[in-house]
């Protein structure tokens, strides 16, 4: 059996690679237009902005938040790592995410492509959507913007939204107390998020 006869095409991988090629293309386009670049690897397949995911933030920011999250998750800090949904590796926490596994098994790229999403019968997505809605993140609305092709704008808005108003550094949606773990600023009124 030759190497080429062993090749099988996976529709989910083909779609994901096409999305990644659009990422590269849009990055080059942005360089020509001198627009600020957005990190397309942070497009959450469930509609969450990965840049505000606790796992991603802990991995990127390191420090006290990483230690706190590792303790809560009962795992060593080096296991708390992710590069975002569009850049997953087997070492990433998100590689084993139930939503990502479900999409992978169905050969889909995003939750909005699933029939269960359309008729609101997906229990996994329903729980996730309710959890994030409680802290002001509407993953359904985010997925609709991704579906419409408004990904660049949504990423820029999300990147700005999920920052400390005092120091400007990025923050996660969940897991922060009432103070910024970067600068110590009080967030109870300016960045209302659940301790969840």
Domain coordinates in residue numbering, the chain: 38-196
DSSP the chain: --TGGG----HHHHHHHHHHHHHHHHHHHHHHHTPPP--GGGB-TTS-BGGG-HHHHHHHH-HHHHHHHHHHHTS-GGG-----GGG--TTSGGGG-HHHHHHHHHT-SSGGGSHHHHTT--HHHHHHHHHHHTTT--HHHHHHHHHTT-HHHHHHHHHHHTB-TTT--B--SSS--SB-TTT--B-TTTS-----
pLDDT tens, residue order, the chain (196 aa): 444 444 455 555 655 555 555 544 444 444 444 455 789 999 999 999 999 999 999 999 999 999 999 999 999 999 999 999 999 999 999 999 999 999 999 999 999 999 999 999 999 999 999 999 998 899 999 999 999 999 999 999 999 999 999 999 999 998 787 889 999 999 877 665 544 4
């Amino acid at each position: 059996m030759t190497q080429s006869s062993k090749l099988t095409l996976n529709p989910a991988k083909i779609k994901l690679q096409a999305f990644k090629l659009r990422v590269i293309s849009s990055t080059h386009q942005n360089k020509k237009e001198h627009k600020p670049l957005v990190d397309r690897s942070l497009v959450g397949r469930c509609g969450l902005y990965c840049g505000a995911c606790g796992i991603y933030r802990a991995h990127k920011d390191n420090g006290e938040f990483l230690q706190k999250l590792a303790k809560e998750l009962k795992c060593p800090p080096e296991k708390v790592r992710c590069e975002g949904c569009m850049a997953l590796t087997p070492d990433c926490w998100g590689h084993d995410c139930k939503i990502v596994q479900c999409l992978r098994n169905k050969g889909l790229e995003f939750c909005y492509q699933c029939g269960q999403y359309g008729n609101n019968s997906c229990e996994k997505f329903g729980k996730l959507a309710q959890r994030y809605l409680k802290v002001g993140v509407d993953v359904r609305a985010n997925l609709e913007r991704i579906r419409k092709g408004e990904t660049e704008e949504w990423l820029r808005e999300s990147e700005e939204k999920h920052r400390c108003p005092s120091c400007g550094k990025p923050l996660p949606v969940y897991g922060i107390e009432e103070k910024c773990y970067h600068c110590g600023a009080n967030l109870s009124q300016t960045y209302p998020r659940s301790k969840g």
